């Protein structure tokens, strides 16, 4: 009885070892695919969900904040002028980077999206200043585009 139990245990241990080796091999084989942008986007759940609001009753913005107006100033870090880089507020083009920085007038709940799809290289943007009472996006918050659109999130007030 005791020997049979240990033989069974050894078989399960051997199967577990084979399973771990197969998983590790798959990890090593699939890792280079994750370095390519198109494949990484389709294979990574987190990148697919970026910028997608949660459904349900949860809301990060209170209705009482609706109507509060402020400003957000965004500047490019590594270039001076890129006129085809566009900032959208709630899906509508609000400004283009015809200068190094843009000043946006925003309300609570407005979503700010930077579109860098016109340029095939990485561009870094930073929130350089915000009006009093704006707690999101914070000052010095940075995002980078690499032929993509990036969301700064929804504007929140204190």
Q: Verify that 43 and 83 share a domain, yes or no.
A: no
pLDDT tens by residue, 113-136: 999 888 888 889 999 999 888 888
Interval 96-110: pLDDT, tens: 988 888 999 898 888
Provide the terminal-to-terminal Cα distance of the chain, rounded to the nearest Å. Answer: 70
How many domains, in total, are found in the chain? 2
67 with 11, same domain?
A: no
Domain that holds residue 27: 2-48
136 plus 65 within the same structural domain:
yes
What CA–CA distances, in Å, run from 149 to 12, 56, 64, 75, 146?
49, 25, 30, 16, 8
Residues 83 and 126 in one domain: yes
As a whole-number percent, the residues of the chain with pLDDT over 90 amount to 24
């Amino acid at each position: 009885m005791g020997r049979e139990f240990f033989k069974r245990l050894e078989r399960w241990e051997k199967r577990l070892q084979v399973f771990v080796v197969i998983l590790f091999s798959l990890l090593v084989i699939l890792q280079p695919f994750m370095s390519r942008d198109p494949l990484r986007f389709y294979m990574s759940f987190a990148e697919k969900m970026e910028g997608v609001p949660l459904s349900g009753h949860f809301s990060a913005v209170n209705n009482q904040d609706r109507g509060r107006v402020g400003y957000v100033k965004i500047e490019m870090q590594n270039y001076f002028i890129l006129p085809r880089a566009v900032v959208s507020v709630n899906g509508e083009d609000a400004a283009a980077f015809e200068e190094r920085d843009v000043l946006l007038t925003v309300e609570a709940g407005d979503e700010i999206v930077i579109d860098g799809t016109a340029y095939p290289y990485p561009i870094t943007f930073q929130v350089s200043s915000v009006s009093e009472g704006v707690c999101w996006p914070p000052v010095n918050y940075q995002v980078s585009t690499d032929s993509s659109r990036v969301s700064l999130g929804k504007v929140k007030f204190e």
